[in-house]
A and B are shown apart, each in its own frame.
Chain A
């Protein structure tokens, strides 16, 4: 009897190992936690991935999408962090996973989560209000030089991506802007079309509606090269007609926001490999290409190792900039 028990124990102990060797598979429904509210950029990202995974049956288990966007996404990241070792939970976010802990007291450190994949990069553009006296980014900078602290720049909450970029612009060309934080980029877009602010640095999807309606114009894009040509957005202009900011004399090489996925710390290697592979497959589908085109993002897949290195470098850059701004949280 004792022998049988012993054998059973050994078998039980070996089972997971054997299963791991065979290729890990999720055994329970998988939670896609969105570190943002319903309807925002991260939410659409996660739900698009979900619909593609379901359509192509890339996973044997169903997916549950949960919105945990409280505290600028802190809620979602903390939730996934506290599920250490659980390979059935992951969180969809942006660079706030490593930027937010630098500037706000939150309950996780950036290296406590496991990076799985980055799937797209959202572009940033400098937009200006309708009827603005400046017609190009160069003229905008010149105007700001003449009236330091008077040109109004709107964006999402303080110390977040938009203000970070604003401070980078200030530093790069030696100007001073008046930064007004709003709840979201969408709100800043509406304020721009109402001419209550002079400029913002929204993503394409956040401002394209205003641009189409003649209620805001793009001045330049913070990218190494111009955006891919597509159908014209307005009667005369398409995305590729927007100059890069570097062309316009703002020496910022590139500023992009990744759309990425993280798992809790301490998850099995096999699980990580399984999901990384799954997201790679997702990024190769026509539906994904369609999503990228509709939201004017740049599709670029990064696996776990690559993303980890990217985050390390980016966190370092952020830390340095925030140090200069005096934003680092003690």
Chain B
């Protein structure tokens, strides 16, 4: 455990040079920019920057690119909070409480809370990476399709079961998500599914297109309906003092911070990925936090839950990426491609072969995340001011952001039509009180869950008991099933209490 310390210190001596710090600042700045501006997004930004790094030494190159990645994650939270447009699938859960806060005039507080929570999550993730690098890699290797399926079920269980609202409606939403996720090429059978002969559907439905429609466009329709023509700009206090006050309020959320960071790290290493981590953390927070009932109405703790888990998972996921060659997100896949071009082979040997690179990168994560938080916080008043603009200016801008965002996913015209269609779907879903989040979760995990299940079934020749064939998978899947059963138990408990106990307060009239 402590034998990593000299390696880390050596990493710091490599990473912390004026040149590298300058690269970090450039990277973070560009990252925030591509995260906020429509039409780039982290994977595209990193891809564009990649050719510039071929001449650099690998440590500097990866510092520049990962800094940009971190920066983009912060930028993505900004649009989620201000406009309800998640820039990355992993910031969907950020909109749940972030956007209501912004609408209530607390944009400055929301942005600050999100950034500080992100910073904490990232730091926590890096510390875990530092201490547990060798253990975590070995742990991740124990995951076969059987364990994957169990982890995905746990993510579903903890989010869906802890949610409020009508369970039937949540189930409908979940089912829609599953069916959309299965469109396109199916890995296990190697055939096209549900394309009905449309070439456009053969590539499947991109998650980001769905998310931009369901959240961005649908929200816009809602706003217009709420007060046609007379939407007032939101009054927001912009002073830096407001930022400081929000920062100082953070320690109050220490339980939420720690809990979410742990969930994030767990999902980053296992590797369920950052998006699943945010949903799981949000679901668990809603169930176990004292403020749980207020989740979804603009509760800072909800924001903390998703943001902390997102960044903790993002940084912890660097570990499986380097040690196993498993990318946890689209951007990580681009970074992996970069590693090969710089002449590095991701794999178990990388830690032994190029400790300078690995530990230089880990050390840089400490510094670049600090740079991120500071730079992001200075931008808060600037971005929060956007909400002061009248709606007839921001409204059309949001539409442009949504459409350009859809275009950049795959430079595809159909995606633009789909964003609008999903906007309509999202609008009607919220009018009819169907929750949208289960749908998104199903689209994030549906395909991988299904693959993992079918792979497990091939391995087990059709026996369901394979999920209890070892303690690791058995424990996770049992906890997952308990989560699913929880609403049933609670309902039964309430029923039983009503049947057998006298009502707690007799009517006193």
Q: Is A187 touching B51 in the complex (CB atoms < 8 A)?
A: no
Cβ–Cβ < 8 Å partners of B349 in chain A: 209, 212-214
**Interface size band for A:** 35 or more
**From A68, A179, A190, A214, residue with most partner B Cβ within 10 Å:** A190
Nearest opposing residue in chain A for B46, CB measure: A38
**Interface size band for B:** 35 or more
Nearest opposing residue in chain A for B410, CB measure: A68
Q: How far is the CA of A225 from the CA of B197 in the complex (A)?
A: 44
Q: Which among B143, B191, B336, B410 is the interface contact of A39 at CB below 8 angstroms? A: B336
Write out, one digit per residue, whether chain A residues 214-231 have a CB within 8 A of any chain B CB (1) or not (0). 110000000000000000
Q: Which among A44, A70, A103, A158 is the interface contact of B340 at CB below 8 angstroms? A: A44
Q: Is B203 an interface residue (CB 8 A)?
A: yes
Cβ–Cβ < 8 Å partners of B142 in chain A: 194
Q: Is B446 an interface residue (CB 8 A)?
A: no
Known: A105-B197, A152-B459, A186-B325. A70 touches B203 (CB 8 A): yes
Q: Is B187 touching A181 in the complex (CB atoms < 8 A)?
A: yes
Nearest opposing residue in chain B for A158, CB measure: B190
Cβ–Cβ < 8 Å partners of A248 in chain B: none
Write out, one digit per residue, whether chain B residues 208-223 have a CB within 8 A of any chain A CB (1) or not (0). 0000000000000000
Cβ–Cβ < 8 Å partners of A158 in chain B: 187-191
Nearest opposing residue in chain B for A81, CB measure: B199
Nearest opposing residue in chain B for A193, CB measure: B141
Q: Which among A181, A213, A295 is the interface contact of B348 at CB below 8 angstroms? A: A213
Known: A70-B184, A71-B203, A186-B326. A194 touches B192 (CB 8 A): no
Q: Is B343 an interface residue (CB 8 A)?
A: yes
Q: Is B458 an interface residue (CB 8 A)?
A: yes
Cβ–Cβ < 8 Å partners of A39 in chain B: 327, 333-338
Nearest opposing residue in chain A for B330, CB measure: A38
Q: Is A103 touching B334 in the complex (CB atoms < 8 A)?
A: no
Cβ–Cβ < 8 Å partners of A209 in chain B: 325, 345-350
Q: Is B455 an interface residue (CB 8 A)?
A: yes
Q: Is B353 an interface residue (CB 8 A)?
A: yes
Minimal beta-carbon separation of B171 from chain A (angstroms): 27
Write out, one digit per residue, whether chain B residues 174-207 have a CB within 8 A of any chain A CB (1) or not (0). 0000000000111111111001010100111010
Q: Is B202 touching A74 in the complex (CB atoms < 8 A)?
A: yes
Cβ–Cβ < 8 Å partners of B333 in chain A: 37-40
Known: A70-B202, A157-B187. A210 touches B347 (CB 8 A): yes
Q: How far is the CA of A327 from the CA of B190 in the complex (A)?
A: 9
Q: Is B185 touching A215 in the complex (CB atoms < 8 A)?
A: no
Known: A38-B337, A158-B187, A209-B349. A187 touches B326 (CB 8 A): yes
Q: How far is the CA of A107 from the CA of B184 in the complex (A)?
A: 12
Q: Which among B189, B203, B326 is the interface contact of A68 at CB below 8 angstroms? A: B203
Write out, one digit per residue, whether chain B residues 427-459 have a CB within 8 A of any chain A CB (1) or not (0). 000000000000000000000000100010011
Q: Is B493 an interface residue (CB 8 A)?
A: no
Nearest opposing residue in chain B for A75, CB measure: B203
Cβ–Cβ < 8 Å partners of A107 in chain B: 199, 202
Within B134-164, the residues touching A (CB, 8 Å) are 141-145
Q: Which among B334, B341, B348 is the interface contact of A215 at CB below 8 angstroms? A: B348
Q: Is A97 an interface residue (CB 8 A)?
A: no
Q: Is A25 an interface residue (CB 8 A)?
A: no
Minimal beta-carbon separation of A227 from chain B (angstroms): 16
Minimal beta-carbon separation of B449 from chain A (angstroms): 13
Q: How far is the CA of A213 from the CA of B352 in the complex (A)?
A: 9
Q: Which among A40, A51, A72, A194 is the interface contact of B185 at CB below 8 angstroms? A: A72
Minimal beta-carbon separation of B43 from chain A (angstroms): 6
Nearest opposing residue in chain B for A66, CB measure: B411
Within A61-81, the residues touching B (CB, 8 Å) are 65-72, 74-75, 78
Q: Is B187 touching A71 in the complex (CB atoms < 8 A)?
A: no
Q: Which among B51, B191, B340, B451 is the interface contact of A104 at CB below 8 angstroms? A: B191
Q: Is B54 an interface residue (CB 8 A)?
A: yes
Q: How far is the CA of A210 from the CA of B54 in the complex (A)?
A: 24
Q: How far is the CA of A209 from the CA of B195 in the complex (A)?
A: 37
Q: Is A183 touching B340 in the complex (CB atoms < 8 A)?
A: no
Q: Is B324 an interface residue (CB 8 A)?
A: yes
Q: Is A292 an interface residue (CB 8 A)?
A: no
Minimal beta-carbon separation of B56 from chain A (angstroms): 14
Q: Is A43 an interface residue (CB 8 A)?
A: yes
Minimal beta-carbon separation of A33 from chain B (angstroms): 10
27 pairs across A/B with beta carbons < 8 Å?
A37-B333, A38-B47, A38-B333, A39-B327, A39-B338, A44-B337, A50-B51, A65-B47, A67-B47, A67-B410, A68-B411, A70-B185, A75-B203, A78-B199, A103-B191, A104-B191, A105-B202, A163-B190, A178-B459, A181-B187, A181-B455, A194-B141, A212-B345, A212-B349, A212-B353, A213-B348, A215-B347
A residues apposed to B, CB below 8 Å: 37-40, 43-44, 47-48, 50-51, 65-72, 74-75, 78, 103-107, 152, 157-160, 163, 178-183, 186-187, 189-191, 193-194, 196, 205, 208-210, 212-215, 294-295, 327, 329
Closest 5 CB pairs of A and B: A209-B347, A70-B203, A213-B348, A158-B190, A159-B190
